[in-house]
Amino acid sequence: MRYLSTILLALLSVTLLTLALVHTDGKYRDAIFGTPAAEPGKKLFDVESLNQVRRITLTDSEGKKATFQSEGNIWIAQEPWNDRADMLFIRTLFQFTASLEVQEVIPRKDLELRDFGLRKGNTRVSMYDAKGENICDYRIGRQAAWKVPVEDGKSTMGTSFIRLADKDLKHNIYLCSSPVNNIQNLFNNQFERFRDHHPFYFSHQFLDKTRIQNDEGEVVISRETLRSPWRITKPLDLRVDPTALADLFTNLARLRAVKVEDRANVTLPTAEQSDAHSREIAIHSDGMDEDFVLRVYLPEKEGETVALATVSNRPDTVFHLPMTSNDPGIISLSQFQTGVNDLRSKTMTHLNGPQLEKIIIKPQGSLPTLLARTTKTTWQVLRKNGYEAANQNAVISLMTAVTRDKIEKFVTDAASDLSPYGLDYPFLQLAFISFGGESLALAFGREPNGENIYAHLIGKPNIWQISPETLGKIAVHPWQWKTSHVWHIPKVDIEQITIHQNDSQPVNLKYAFFSEQWSATRGKTGEETDVTAELNPHRANNLLNSLESMEAQRWIGPMHPQALKALQTPDISISIKIKRVDDEGNDLPPITKTLRIANTPGNIITFAKVDTNPKSPDASDEDSYFLLNPDTAAKLKVNLFE
């Protein structure tokens, strides 16, 4: 009985110890029993634990080291150089480590490590947390021949031989796959690629000032707050070209040296030499105490392919920057557009269309055209009888001319006499007024010989030369603001439609709106023959619908010589007699609207014009000829009879 109680106590102790081990953290169990080999199909390292890494040491097979320490959102190399690390390659190393997936476990016993690239030429990767505790420690051997298909079945991942560095874990070699291929190339030349070859590391979202010193002088671009628009503030207060500024920031971020050296190993030009051959680009981020200044020492000899450079926040580093490059993936110094005319806005204005309430177009010697709108309506044009819908395409064309078309040439920024540019008596002025009451006005002039076209903001000394194509986008005639809808012919008021087509006899149609009945006659006045029985009512209805909805392809003005000549002998003429009543319901003499259509040879162009008889002030817009879509013209020439 005494032995039985002893046995029971021993069994109870073993049970409690087993339960304790089961509920003990994995690393303590591993310390007692040893770490088991990672299984095929599993990650070699715990991905979440890699988020705690704050220090990395790389060691080659000869014992040479590179150490990197995390400082906020960047990594700093502490050896073999005291410099910023390249974030791209730090991230690549993390991605490789996190993605290592075991494909096969190979027992180490009786194997030669050199056969796996794990003796000479291997690289040891050691990662630590902020307390200095090891997160992962492994050696990278050579690449293996085996490729692992990825899920999409269209590509493969490479594999490498990996060996854990811990002495208790060195008994296995792991064949691991990773989407990061050729990681071994990253460690060449004593880890040189991990030294950041980019002079700048910044986010353009937090920049508030950029200063450029070049052979033209100094250019300063700044903004009051991070939400304010950028402006050139020196040498003049000018609008910035957003595309040019974005290209500048992109090129600065992507600029990469072909070689980086310690300052102690390089002889830079003296102060006297550098003043004439140096350029500077400085950036400042919101909240920074000082600018980061890139100083480039241009070579004195022609044909040199690189320029030496320094950056103020990395004083111990000298960059060899490419002067030119034929590789589109490499940014060179020759690609930087840093002159004031390179960076300034190339458009006449930066108007915001939705904020505009009124536009006034004032040609010299003509009445102005007023466009207006509310926040809930589209643009309207003021006519004699009030506001009418404006041609929205003409509005778009006008806004394109003043906000998107590029200026051909910046003539001067200090004009005191406007007469050489014809701007003392401009032939055209445009005024833009916003809902907030802010206004802006443009003037356009020609030099005395009429060759070049100039423009400027009224009240500003900046003169630009613009292209004839840009000027041509601005509608200056009232007829250009007419919508594409040709006329208004209420069906209920139609008394008669008369069609003259080439040499055919005229056709007269009468339409009863309420009964939707048609009648037809053919022949000259006094010689008409009733042909109602032969008329196809469906075709007549389609003709009426086509007439009612007819739209101009483009208005071409009242003085178009080709249209004038063609319409003297029209291919078809359609006259519509419309009854009228006064405000008290009394009948007025009817009016007749006549549409004439003529094609050019080959039916390439279809001209058209509407005339009203008797002519009234309401029909002033009918003075303009217009182009008609050939398909529309074909619908109007349809045979109405069976």
Query: What three-state secondary structure class fits 196?
Result: coil
Structural tokens at position 125:
């990767």
Same domain, yes or no: 429 and 521: no
Q: Which residue has the tokens 């009051």?
A: 224
**Residue 481 belongs to a domain:** no
By the 8 A CB rule, do 402 and 351 touch? yes
For residue 548, tell me if it sits in a domain.
yes
Give the number of C-alpha atoms closer than 13 A to the C-alpha of residue 26, restricted to the C-beta side: 3
Rounded CA gap, 126 and 5, in Å? 52
- Domain around 565: 491-636
Boundary (domain end) residue, out of 298, 324, 343: 343
Q: From CA 442, how far away is CA 452, in angstroms rounded?
A: 17
| Residue 530 sits in the same domain as residue 613 | yes
Is 199 within the bounds of a domain?
no
Average confidence (pLDDT) over 407-430: 95
Within-domain flag for 50: yes
Question: Which pair of structure tokens corresponds to residue 106?
Answer: 């190979």
Q: Which of 476, 502, 519 is the last residue of a domain?
A: 476
The per-residue DSSP string of 47-92 comes to TGGGGG--EEEEEETTS-EEEEEEETTEEEEEES--EEB-HHHHHH
* pLDDT, tens only, 289-304: 999 999 999 988 888 8
In a domain, 121, yes or no: yes
Residue 60's pLDDT is 93
Q: Work out how many domains the chain is built from and give that number.
A: 5
Judge whether 642 lies within some domain.
no
The residue whose two tokens read 């410099």 is 83
Same domain assignment for residues 39 and 156? yes
Tell me: pLDDT of 622 over 80: no
Looking at the fold, whether 119 and 251 belong to one and the same domain comes out as no
Asked if residue 405 has pLDDT above 90, the reply is yes
Same domain assignment for residues 286 and 389: no
pLDDT digits (tens, 9 = 90+) for 2-30: 555 665 555 555 555 555 544 544 444 44
What pLDDT, in 10s, does the model give residues 504-518? Answer: 889 999 988 888 889
Q: Within a domain: residue 486?
A: no
Q: What is the DSSP string of 562-596?
A: HHHHHTTS-SEEEEEEEEEE-TTS-EEEEEEEEEE
Does one domain contain both 441 and 378? yes
**What is the chain's mean pLDDT, rounded?**
89
Is residue 641 a part of any domain in this protein?
A: no
Residues 43, 28 share a domain: no
Asked whether the predicted pLDDT for residue 605 surpasses 80, the reply is: yes
Rounded mean pLDDT, 248-258? 96
- Segment (H or E) for 139: strand 134-149
482: exposed, middle or buried (Cβ count in 10 Å: 0-12, 13-18, 19+): buried
pLDDT in tens, 373-387: 999 999 999 988 889
CB 496 within 8 A of CB 591: no
- Looking at the fold, whether 465 and 553 belong to one and the same domain comes out as no
What digits encode the pLDDT tens for the residues 32-57?
A: 444 556 889 999 999 999 999 999 99
Q: What is residue 186's predicted lDDT score, i.e. its pLDDT?
A: 92
Same domain, 598 and 518: yes
Question: Does one domain contain both 400 and 522?
Answer: no
**Residue 167 pLDDT grade (very low, low, confident, very high; cuts 50, 70, 90):** confident
Residues 448 and 499 in one domain: no
| 306: pLDDT strictly greater than 80 | yes
Do residue 442 and residue 520 come from a single domain? no
If phi over 0 gives left and psi between -120 and 50 gives alpha, with beta otherwise, what is residue 378? beta
Residues β-bridged to residue 123: 60, 140
Q: Which amino acid, one-letter code, is at 631?
A: D
Q: Which of 430, 453, 476 is the last residue of a domain?
A: 476
pTM confidence score: 0.75
**Does the pLDDT value for residue 1 go beyond 80?**
no
pLDDT of residue 587: 80
Non-local CB neighbours of 140 within 8 Å, separated by 6+ positions:
122, 123, 124, 125, 160, 161, 162, 183, 184, 187
C-alpha pair distances (Å), 518 with each of 31, 339, 460, 489, 636:
103, 74, 66, 17, 17
